[in-house]
Structure 1
Amino acid sequence: MLKNPLYVYGPKNVYIPSDLNFAAFFLDTLWEHRNNVALINGASYEDYTYLSMAQQSMNVAISLSRLGVKKGEVVAICSENRMEYWAAFLGTVCAGVTATMVNPNYTGNELKHVLSITKPKYMFCSQTFYNGKEKTLKSLPYLKKIILFGDKTNKNVLYYDDLAISVDGNEKDIGFNGNKLSRNVRYEEFRAVDVEGQNDVALILYSSGTTGLPKGVMLTHVNLLSACLMPASIDPKLNGLTISPWFHTMGLIGTALGLCKGRTLVYLPKFEINLYLKCIEKYQIQQITVVPPVLVAACKSQEPYDLSSVKLVYSGAAPLQEETIKIVKDKFPNVVAVLQGYGMTEMTLAVIKSTYDQTVPMKSASIGSVVAGAIVKVVDIETGKPLGPNQSGELCFKSTQVMKGYVGKSNREFFDDEGFYRSGDIGYYDEDRQFYIVDRLKELIKYKGFQVAPAEIESLLLQHPSVRDAGVVGLPDPTAGELPLAFVVKQPGCDVSELEIQAFVAEKLSNPKHLRGGVRFVSEIPKNPSGKVLRKALKAMMKNTKSKL
């Protein structure tokens, strides 16, 4: 009955449609903005209107139903970012079917693992992915049909264009000429399949797997509606540029939120620093959504692109430090604010964030405040007791955005007795209820009883002019437990030694955070698509590379 004074409560409720149907809501929103451009491919300059997206979504839904796909089944989408992705996604969900997004860069074994979680009967995929994984896909007994994006060059598969684009006939009733629709489905005659929004799973995404095998995260229609109907983090009147992959929460739900506000978004199929900066200049991009490594790469680029159009920078997936924010403001001369947010796949998107129209100014390095309708508590790592301001502990969440659960797993392991999801992230809030992230609980380095956050050391290393990228892990030590060890990618043309890097850290950070494990120079830091450092991969590299100290 009474609020817990140590919990942090979001400001108010989120208002969602009474039918609790995300597909119906999303389609109606697309139709409302049908005269506008939704997406622009920054590499090919092609554009995709809201009308085309809505029309193809309805056509895909009818075609899937005609193929026999039923409510409760799963359809997979595995592709790089491309126009067809969105109608494949929305058409699937409109048909009452669960969509699952799969990383096209998975190896054969990784692909088998994640698909074994959901066992999709149909899969939309790009030609590039199919050509590389055809043998693996054919070995999966539950996968009935492949639906390819692009040109018709393969046999024994279906094609997206046949399901999504009609032959433009004038027939009164919808029919099929082979696999192809005889006419477009009309908006006024279409109705998304009814759902139980709080229980029916609209989307299954996969956890990043940075500390273990990926798990299937079940997101309901209510989860998606709650995320997309939150007040906008970035200004819906300004255009934006995104490079986040759409199989990832930040890319998929972040883009969906923008589309629900009628925004025009420029996207790239993959990240290339020069193309990224060129797009900012060409399209006079006003807002960019990035992960910290991309932001650092952009700031360190010496290419003479005009970046003066950028007004807002929104960063997620890892915390930004004050020094990095200062560098960003130097690189983008007209930036009004550098905003941050915190979320994860299990929470549909951000549950703590700052917004472009913030009434209370955000503090530098803060990730923001609790979103509407959410409750956050910070608990002691050892005892589980709630903590007050400026005390670091594990962040735990309760919200309509929090997932239904993991496919095939009990919620007992991941939720506490009060129903809070245990994030595994370490953070704290201050007297003004603004939050700060320290690091992942499972990634903390234990040095002589001290808990060392790798992210803090990485953030400092990125400030060194000769460092392009960095990742930090604990090197096992029989006396100290673990020693901080840094993997460093040098800036092109720069020559810096291990001892110089160690001295740089020793000057800036306290004794337990010194790089006693050494420094190893590598060509690349392994990361997942959201930009998080893959520490499992770094630890494997630790066994196979030797320090030159």
Structure 2
Amino acid sequence: MLIHLTFMIFVFRSNNKMLRNPNYLYGEDSLLQVPAHGNFAKYVLQKLWICEDQLALINGKTHEQLTYRQMAKDAMNLAVSLVRMGVRKGDTIGICAENRQEYFSACIGIISTGAVLTCINPGYVDGELKHVLNISKPKIIFCSPASYKSHSKTLQSLPFIEKFILFGREKQNNTLSYEEFVESTKDISLDNFDVIDVTGQIDTAVIVYSSGTTGLPKGVMLTHFGSIASCEMSYSMDPKEPVLLINPWYHVMGLFGSIRVFVNRGIIVHLPKFDIDLYMKTIEVYKIGQITVAPPVLIAVCKFKSTYDVSSLKIVYSGAAPLKDDTIAAVRDRFPNLKAVLQGYGMTEITLCGSRHTLEDVLKDKVAGVGHVAPGTVIKIVDLESRKSVGHDQVGEICIKTITIMKGYVDKDNSEDFDDEGFFKTGDIGYYDQDKNLFIVDRLKELIKYKGFQVAPAELEGVLLEHPGIKDAGVVGIPHESAGEVPRAFVVLQPGSSLTEEEIKAFIATKLSNPKHIRGGVKFVAEIPKTPSGKILRKLLREMAKVKSHL
């Protein structure tokens, strides 16, 4: 049974007014087929099951293949095993692994039990790992052999983690085997299996992590209903064309972007990490028709000289940061049969998508900015001082209301994150043109975007201040041709300290993961400019960085 729901007719009227605000951008009124059960795992399983033995996932490096039917069976077997082990609705279960064949079966199996899935970056260092795990407090952790080897000491030190399950057949001390879990029930099928009931609009399906201006990741709770709605939004990929993905699956873009492909019967070819030669070779070997990437990957691809046949590529989907016009031109030159370069704008808190280009936009020659507002979504631009909505071509903060909005942050009062009309305050600055295309021009939030990763200056500053030789510190992003932005540190040394730039860089490298390293250099200053209340004046730091930046 399906409930056909038309949104925005009743959801987005504000302040009891019956007329739409002419300054707002309204996405299409969205007719979604939302199952009456409202369970995200059941929704995905039903989509997978009808694809039978069609290929779903291919490892472009090892050439391992996984069918839709096998993905679904593994998920159901895992769910049965977890419930037998004692997993109950409301428990949290984590996955800390690189992209690999078992990942999505584990995701779907976990959610099928009524438990909450949390996806963790295996590249975190110990302090970061402890921080996010103390947010979600998972009862069980699934790990790849590599991630468990790297993090076992930290993971075992956390009292709330009761069991460790390793992907593959390899066993290490104090771990269980994933393969044994998915082989538990021989004749399992969708006919003799059912998920644990949930209340779709209330219950959390997934916790993912998003950095904020505090510098520390926050746990974003995404509901079953919002997750289904995200997958039901209009889809512009061609299911007949293989998609090459390198986006990490612990991130909302990789996780929900991939599930969207699956529920639309597409084929994903994935790589465990980005290697430029292997990436281009994979396009040739698997006749890749579509890629989803962040801008730094496109820049690297355009600069890479090779003789691989990449004529199969037709569509490029880019996200995480805006593309420059010269990059788009270079991409078109690199791929002779390219039909379109499409961009979108989204974030973890809205379950991925707020605006996007479509193939229809291409046909109408209306591709601009980061596209039009997504279905089921309303966007307004508000003046930074008055907080009143403004019209086209006027810059302000982007605020979003959508059917896919998060439930909230874990253990955080969310009242400051939403305005009195229920719009989420994104912290991004932009505008829209007369054709209602959205453009992103800056970030009110002070995050640095390094190759699509969000790097919070306050987090780096906090670590810098841990060093006994550093008195004060401020961090800003500076432009970088291939990475987008890199962090530059401004440092006030303690009296008598003789710390060097290289020593400070090395100190950060031991404390924080790779995207947060000080690639923009260190500038020694007499003081960090601040307001009377003590807030760092990053605008002045950015001006100082412009004078000295040679990148």
Task: Give the TM interval when normalised to the shorter protein.
Answer: 0.7 to 0.9
| Pairing partner for 2:387 from 358, 371, 384 | 384
Paired residues of 2:141 and 2:164 also in contact (CA < 8 A)? yes
Please report the TM-score for the alignment, with normalisation by the length of structure 1: 0.80
Q: Bigger shift: 147-156 or 330-339?
A: 147-156
- Post-superposition offset of 1:373: 1.1
Residue 357 of structure 1 aligns to a residue whose secondary structure is helix
Paired residues of 1:148 and 1:160 also in contact (CA < 8 A)? yes
CA deviations over 1:448-467 (Å, ceiling 9, x no partner): xxxxxx99x84xx63xxxxx
CA deviations over 1:198-232 (Å, ceiling 9, x no partner): 00000000004586100000000011111101111
CA deviations over 1:11-36 (Å, ceiling 9, x no partner): 11241222211111100000011220
User: Does the C-alpha gap of structure 1 residues 54 and 127 become closer, same or farther in structure 2, counting only changes over 3 Å?
Assistant: same
- Rounded to whole Å, the distance in 2 between the matches of 1:383 and 1:37 is 53
2:140 matched to 1:126?
A: no
Q: Which amino acid aligns with 2:149?
A: N
2:85 matched to 1:85?
A: no
| Pairing partner for 2:485 from 471, 495, 501 | 471
| Pairing partner for 2:353 from 338, 350, 354 | 350
- Post-superposition offset of 1:292: 0.2
- Rounded to whole Å, the distance in 2 between the matches of 1:87 and 1:540 is 42
Unaligned runs of 5+ in 2: 1-17, 449-475, 492-504, 526-544
- Post-superposition offset of 1:401: 0.9
| Pairing partner for 2:396 from 393, 396, 401 | 393
- Rounded to whole Å, the distance in 2 between the matches of 1:368 and 1:283 is 29
User: Does the C-alpha gap of structure 1 residues 475 and 119 become closer, same or farther in structure 2, counting only changes over 3 Å?
Assistant: closer
Query: Which position in structure 2 is the counterpart of 1:300?
Result: 303
- Rounded to whole Å, the distance in 2 between the matches of 1:148 and 1:475 is 39
Query: Which position in structure 2 is the counterpart of 1:137?
Result: 155
User: Does the C-alpha gap of structure 1 residues 276 and 430 become closer, same or farther in structure 2, counting only changes over 3 Å?
Assistant: same
Residue 280 of structure 2 aligns to a residue whose secondary structure is helix
Paired residues of 1:20 and 1:221 also in contact (CA < 8 A)? yes
2:32 matched to 1:12?
A: no
User: Does the C-alpha gap of structure 1 residues 540 and 322 become closer, same or farther in structure 2, counting only changes over 3 Å?
Assistant: closer
- Rounded to whole Å, the distance in 1 between the matches of 2:307 and 2:431 is 40
- Post-superposition offset of 1:307: 1.3
- Post-superposition offset of 1:333: 1.1
- Rounded to whole Å, the distance in 2 between the matches of 1:209 and 1:444 is 8
- Post-superposition offset of 1:233: 2.9
Equivalences, count: 469
2:342 matched to 1:339?
A: yes
Paired residues of 2:125 and 2:513 also in contact (CA < 8 A)? no
2:165 matched to 1:147?
A: yes
- Give the 5 Å matches for 1:60-71: 60-71=78-89
Residue 344 of structure 2 aligns to a residue whose secondary structure is strand
User: Does the C-alpha gap of structure 1 residues 274 and 543 become closer, same or farther in structure 2, counting only changes over 3 Å?
Assistant: farther
Query: Which position in structure 1 is the counterpart of 2:51?
Result: 33
- Post-superposition offset of 1:139: 0.5
2:232 matched to 1:226?
A: no
Q: Percent identity?
A: 47
Query: Which position in structure 2 is the counterpart of 1:96?
Result: 114
Please report the TM-score for the alignment, with normalisation by the length of structure 2: 0.80
Q: CA RMSD in A?
A: 2.8
- Post-superposition offset of 1:420: 0.5
- Give the 5 Å matches for 1:376-525: 376-443=379-446, 458=479, 462=481, 468-469=482-483, 471=485
Paired residues of 2:431 and 2:439 also in contact (CA < 8 A)? yes
CA deviations over 1:249-275 (Å, ceiling 9, x no partner): 110000000000000110001111111
- Post-superposition offset of 1:383: 1.6
User: Does the C-alpha gap of structure 1 residues 305 and 542 become closer, same or farther in structure 2, counting only changes over 3 Å?
Assistant: farther
Query: Which position in structure 2 is the counterpart of 1:198?
Result: 201
2:25 matched to 1:2?
A: no
Unaligned runs of 5+ in 1: 166-180, 446-453, 463-467, 478-519
CA deviations over 1:410-429 (Å, ceiling 9, x no partner): 11111111110010111111
2:125 matched to 1:111?
A: no
- Post-superposition offset of 1:366: 1.4
- Rounded to whole Å, the distance in 1 between the matches of 2:247 and 2:282 is 15
CA deviations over 1:483-520 (Å, ceiling 9, x no partner): xxxxxxxxxxxxxxxxxxxxxxxxxxxxxxxxxxxxx9
Q: Which amino acid aligns with 2:19?
A: L
- Give the 5 Å matches for 1:48-59: 48-59=66-77
User: Does the C-alpha gap of structure 1 residues 129 and 95 become closer, same or farther in structure 2, counting only changes over 3 Å?
Assistant: same
- Rounded to whole Å, the distance in 2 between the matches of 1:29 and 1:365 is 33
- Rounded to whole Å, the distance in 2 between the matches of 1:419 and 1:543 is 44
- Rounded to whole Å, the distance in 1 between the matches of 2:311 and 2:513 is 30
Paired residues of 1:98 and 1:204 also in contact (CA < 8 A)? yes
Q: Which amino acid aligns with 2:26?
A: Y
Q: Which amino acid aligns with 1:471?
A: E
Q: Which amino acid aligns with 1:11?
A: E
Paired residues of 1:204 and 1:216 also in contact (CA < 8 A)? yes
- Post-superposition offset of 1:357: 3.5
2:65 matched to 1:47?
A: yes
Paired residues of 2:486 and 2:520 also in contact (CA < 8 A)? no
Paired residues of 1:14 and 1:229 also in contact (CA < 8 A)? no
Paired residues of 2:489 and 2:522 also in contact (CA < 8 A)? no
Paired residues of 2:39 and 2:197 also in contact (CA < 8 A)? yes
- Post-superposition offset of 1:322: 1.5
Residue 110 of structure 1 aligns to a residue whose secondary structure is helix
Paired residues of 1:397 and 1:420 also in contact (CA < 8 A)? yes
Paired residues of 2:97 and 2:147 also in contact (CA < 8 A)? yes
- Post-superposition offset of 1:363: 4.2
User: Does the C-alpha gap of structure 1 residues 472 and 107 become closer, same or farther in structure 2, counting only changes over 3 Å?
Assistant: closer
Paired residues of 1:320 and 1:365 also in contact (CA < 8 A)? no
